Structure 1
Amino acid sequence: MQTETNGLHKGLNAFHLWGIAVGLVISGEYFGWSYGWASAGTLGFLITTMAVAAMYVAFIFSFTELTTAIPQAGGPFAYSRRAFGPVGGCIAGYATLIEFVFAPPAIALAIGAYLNVQFPGLDPKHAALGAYLVFMTLNIVGVQIAATFELFVTILAVAELLVFMGVVAPAFAWSNFAANGWAGADRFGLPAIGGMFAAIPFAIWFFLAIEGVAMAAEEAKDPRRTIPIAYITGVLTLTALAFGVMIFAGGAGDWRILSNLNDPLPQAMKGVVGESSGWLHMLVWLGLFGLVASFHGIIMGYSRQIYALARAGFLPRGLARLHPRFRTPHIATLAGGVVGIAAIYSDNLVTLAGQSLTASIVTMAVFGALVMYGMSLASLFRLRRIEPGLARPYRAPLYPAAPAFALVMAAICFVALVVYNPVIFAIFLVLMLLAVLAAKGLATPDPVAVQPISDPVP
């Protein structure tokens, strides 16, 4: 059994974990979601978001039972492996990895877009590269420093979203929000249901990656008490912010201008206060904190997922090395960064099924997330049946109705994604099949018992 002396450092309290939970996701309130307006219109996307929000609330209340019962860095990988064996663990682990490795490049490009508003001569890709280098370094230096920074920028990001809503509120009109609100409406004026289904990945972007707190479970103080607090307060915070930002941005002017942009909030505010307003400059600068919070937090998440998979033998064991001084998975952090940086410099060079690379990698991340949600919820049901004596400090409320609802919703979302994104699904499926085949038979008997590899102390 690994110990604190040779494993990940434990130093995160409930407030740190709330910061991670909200910070992982909060960039979804700043960009990405507005692509859903192009598919469904404001009213159609509002309905889609309500359904997805209900799924996430049910999911998090169910997922918390697993996180507190099995507080391991692998998160869904650990739960699914315990419930379904190595193949189940492999599917969940690699789906989570795809989610967490593909999300950061989209966020890094949005950071570049925000900086380009302030510095038009700055290449957004170079800014995105700089973000990777800075925040990979910060993650390597130490988890408590990284989590404290995450908490700080998350608080600023939440405050800035509230400021945005306050500044654009005087220009808000429901008639603006509802105008042309059903994208693709037929000749009878009925809403296009297809557009609402097509918008699902962008509604999920509002909440994507909140489950990443599970990957910090081994580094939490008293995880069976602190994780439920972080998850429940986090998902409620994010739900309120998602609806507030979407409704105020859509009602402040012509929402169609914002529907295909990486920086919808500055552009919405620009339409209200003008280009020279101090409010706009403040939003650009402080708005970066929301992007940074998610970017930094997801780097933390993907590094722990790579570490957990490598520790169990599903990836090369060298990726499970911990830094001899900081006790952080530094090789895993750098490995995920290489993939992200390659994706950044492929933007505008690559399109998939007519989508921009940003929209495509958002969709790819959502595919990974939905597979992971399904595997986690299935694990909850199976573990309740095969391990009734497992210590469960927190039990999912409204069981089995709430987790069943979340599982059905995840399945519906997944099918809709496949129908509307067949090319991206084919790429996702190939990646998953290659990963499972490569990892088959490599796993060690018990991932908890595997000692992490540390570089020798000089």
Structure 2
Amino acid sequence: MQSESTGLHKGLNAFHLWGIAVGLVISGEYFGWSYGWASAGTLGFLVTTTFIAAMYVAFIFSFTELTTAIPQAGGPFAYSRRAFGPIGGCIAGYATLIEFVFAPPAIALAIGAYLNVQFPGLDPKHAALGAYLIFMTLNIVGVQIAATFELFVTILAVAELLVFMGVVAPAFSFSNFAAHGWAGESTFSLAAIGGMFAAIPFAIWFFLAIEGVAMAAEEAKDPKRTIPIAYITGVLTLTVLAFGVMIFAGGSGDWRTLSNLNDPLPQAMKTVVGESSGWLHMLVWLGLFGLVASFHGIIMGYSRQIFALGRAGYLPGFLAKVHPRFQTPHVATVAGGLVGIAAIYSDNLIEIAGQSLTASIVTMAVFGALVMYGMSMAALFKLRRSEPDLARPYRAPFFPVAPAFALAMAGICFIALVVFNPMIFAIFLAVMVVAVAASHFLAKPVETAPAATLDPVI
């Protein structure tokens, strides 16, 4: 029997889920990716992004099989635990938790920085705190309200990116895009290869967190039908937008002036239409919607992951409490928010390997994502062998080639990230080892997931 304390409200349709899938990621189309140009140049970064986009398409088409077969709020945690037992579940669960808890502070600070430009007297950290308080509250008062808001801001953010491409398109020149396109040089070289590997995290930023839809699976109407629609249309939407903004921005002028900025799109548009254009003011103001969509969506994701780990006994059980009126994981929402707020007020006070805390926690989030991707694809292969009769409403196309490609690419990206970020990797590894060891020796699993989708430990 499903306990009253752990039952989530089922109110999300395919359109809501598409909004979550795209909204989780879409801030990555607005900022962050252009740092990849500084490492790889436009042409080198285009190659890197092509491989990363292929990885994500293969991953999502394969990951959807797991999400529809085991539609639980734990997402990758549930799949890996079913495939590999408690230790496998811990590794995937905590890696996902690191990804989703550490990404929001960076986005919140970007929101604060944007508001500070418009209102210079407003402290960016206080604005980031305000963003946390507002969107944690919105997530708590009801999943359908939260998802409807997410859908609204996501549609606005997508529309704005299309407007950006349309406005700068007349000024596009391939010669601008290709100039100095190989790690700042005009010709391909070994340095360009190193730059392409160094740029991997920034290409991942185009797509990071799309897998968070899996954590809303228990709240979806007819998940076997709606989740595949949302995932596939979502990853295709993001792929088109990623290449569109990158190519049009790079070809609008001298891309080197945009490669170390947090606002490459407004700056690219400024070179085309001038500082006084209404198009530019629209982009600057509505650009906030892209940040809000991702921030709000990732709060939804981390709260479900904390909830699932608490429900399974791998985190304290009180984190699995559901609000008696709104049927949302309110304690988990607040707990993850407290970690993010602490990170916000530690920014500029702590540096890791010469990087700000914000940059370091973004890299930590990417480490968590890559571990989760690898564990999920390994779980897909394992469950195909160990549970051939498991109901699979959606089966991964091009199996085993697509998931094998996604798994191999995740491994390559992980190695590259370790090479270029050894100190942050050491911290990530230490956190994972401590978390998994503590869960193994101290946790007392008390799974109360819906019986129809209960994932037995193998």
Same fold (TM over 0.5): yes
Equivalent pairs, count: 451
Q: Which amino acid aligns with 1:314?
A: Y
Q: Give the match for residue 455 of structure 1.
A: none
Q: Give the match for residue 31 of structure 1.
A: 31
Q: Distance in 1 between matches of 2:274 and 2:165?
A: 16
1:366 aligns with 2:345: no
Q: Give the match for residue 42 of structure 1.
A: 42
Q: Distance in 2 between matches of 1:272 and 1:201?
A: 29
1:78 aligns with 2:78: yes
CA separation of 1:242 and 1:45: change in aligned 2, threshold 3 A: same
Question: What is the SS of the residue equivalent to 1:213?
Answer: helix
Q: Give the match for residue 431 of structure 2.
A: 431
Q: Which moved more, 1:120-129 or 1:159-168?
A: 120-129
Instruction: Write the deviation string for residues 279-310 of structure 1: whole angstroms up to 9, x where unpaired.
Output: 12111211111111110000000000000001
Question: What is the SS of the residue equivalent to 1:192?
Answer: helix
Q: Give the match for residue 317 of structure 1.
A: 317
Q: Which moved more, 1:167-176 or 1:332-341?
A: 167-176
CA separation of 1:428 and 1:441: change in aligned 2, threshold 3 A: same
Q: Give the match for residue 117 of structure 1.
A: 117
Deviation at 1:229, TM superposition (A): 0.3
Q: Which moved more, 1:165-174 or 1:330-339?
A: 165-174
Contact kept in structure 1, 2:180 and 2:186, CA below 8 Å:
no
Q: Give the match for residue 329 of structure 1.
A: 329
Contact kept in structure 2, 1:91 and 1:436, CA below 8 Å:
yes
Q: Which moved more, 1:4-13 or 1:304-313?
A: 4-13
Q: How does 1:57-96 map to 2 (within 5 A)?
A: 57-96=57-96
Q: Distance in 2 between matches of 1:285 and 1:49?
A: 28
Instruction: Write the deviation string for residues 84-128 of structure 1: whole angstroms up to 9, x where unpaired.
Output: 000000000000000001111111111122223322332222221
Q: Which amino acid aligns with 1:39?
A: S
Q: Give the match for residue 132 of structure 2.
A: 132
Q: Which moved more, 1:103-112 or 1:152-161?
A: 103-112
Contact kept in structure 2, 1:116 and 1:123, CA below 8 Å:
yes
Q: Distance in 1 between matches of 2:358 and 2:256?
A: 19
Q: Which moved more, 1:275-284 or 1:429-438?
A: 275-284
Q: Distance in 2 between matches of 1:417 and 1:171?
A: 35
CA separation of 1:450 and 1:393: change in aligned 2, threshold 3 A: closer
Q: Which amino acid aligns with 1:64?
A: T
Q: Give the match for residue 175 of structure 2.
A: 175
Q: Distance in 2 between matches of 1:255 and 1:122?
A: 31
Contact kept in structure 1, 2:6 and 2:320, CA below 8 Å:
no
Mind listing any 5+ residue stretches in structure 2 that lack a counterpart? 452-458
Q: Distance in 2 between matches of 1:263 and 1:279?
A: 15
Instruction: Write the deviation string for residues 202-224 of structure 1: whole angstroms up to 9, x where unpaired.
Output: 10010000000000000000000
Instruction: Write the deviation string for residues 324-361 of structure 1: whole angstroms up to 9, x where unpaired.
Output: 11111111111111111121222222332233333322
Q: Which moved more, 1:277-286 or 1:19-28?
A: 277-286
Q: Distance in 1 between matches of 2:444 and 2:389?
A: 25
Q: Give the match for residue 7 of structure 1.
A: 7
Instruction: Write the deviation string for residues 410-433 of structure 1: whole angstroms up to 9, x where unpaired.
Output: 000000000011011011111111
Deviation at 1:146, TM superposition (A): 0.2
Deviation at 1:27, TM superposition (A): 0.6
Instruction: Write the deviation string for residues 158-179 of structure 1: whole angstroms up to 9, x where unpaired.
Output: 0000011111222221122112
Q: Distance in 1 between matches of 2:299 and 2:227?
A: 19
Question: What is the SS of the residue equivalent to 1:322?
Answer: coil
Q: Give the match for residue 406 of structure 1.
A: 406
Q: Give the match for residue 200 of structure 1.
A: 200
Q: Which amino acid aligns with 2:396?
A: A
Q: Which amino acid aligns with 1:166?
A: G
Q: Which moved more, 1:181-190 or 1:375-384?
A: 181-190
Deviation at 1:448, TM superposition (A): 4.4
Question: What is the SS of the residue equivalent to 1:314?
Answer: coil
Contact kept in structure 2, 1:311 and 1:450, CA below 8 Å:
no
Q: Which moved more, 1:259-268 or 1:159-168?
A: 259-268
Deviation at 1:442, TM superposition (A): 4.1
Question: What is the SS of the residue equivalent to 1:121?
Answer: coil
Q: Which moved more, 1:430-439 or 1:166-175?
A: 166-175
Q: Distance in 1 between matches of 2:258 and 2:177?
A: 12
Q: Which amino acid aligns with 2:371?
A: V
Q: Distance in 2 between matches of 1:347 and 1:176?
A: 36
Deviation at 1:5, TM superposition (A): 8.4
Contact kept in structure 2, 1:113 and 1:263, CA below 8 Å:
no
Q: Distance in 1 between matches of 2:71 and 2:189?
A: 51
Q: Give the match for residue 417 of structure 1.
A: 417
Q: Give the match for residue 18 of structure 2.
A: 18
Question: What is the SS of the residue equivalent to 1:120?
Answer: coil
Q: Distance in 2 between matches of 1:281 and 1:358?
A: 27
CA separation of 1:409 and 1:337: change in aligned 2, threshold 3 A: same
Q: Which amino acid aligns with 1:302?
A: Y
Q: Which moved more, 1:338-347 or 1:352-361?
A: 352-361
Q: Distance in 2 between matches of 1:32 and 1:379?
A: 31
Q: Give the match for residue 99 of structure 1.
A: 99
RMSD: 1.8
Mind listing any 5+ residue stretches in structure 1 that lack a counterpart? 452-458
Instruction: Write the deviation string for residues 357-405 of structure 1: whole angstroms up to 9, x where unpaired.
Output: 3332221111000000000000000000000110000000010011001
Q: Which amino acid aligns with 1:167?
A: V
Contact kept in structure 2, 1:364 and 1:424, CA below 8 Å:
yes
Q: Distance in 1 between matches of 2:449 and 2:227?
A: 23
Instruction: Write the deviation string for residues 245-271 of structure 1: whole angstroms up to 9, x where unpaired.
Output: 111111112222222222221222222
Q: Give the match for residue 383 of structure 1.
A: 383
Contact kept in structure 2, 1:118 and 1:281, CA below 8 Å:
no
Contact kept in structure 1, 2:66 and 2:380, CA below 8 Å:
yes
CA separation of 1:446 and 1:133: change in aligned 2, threshold 3 A: closer
Q: Distance in 1 between matches of 2:114 and 2:430?
A: 34
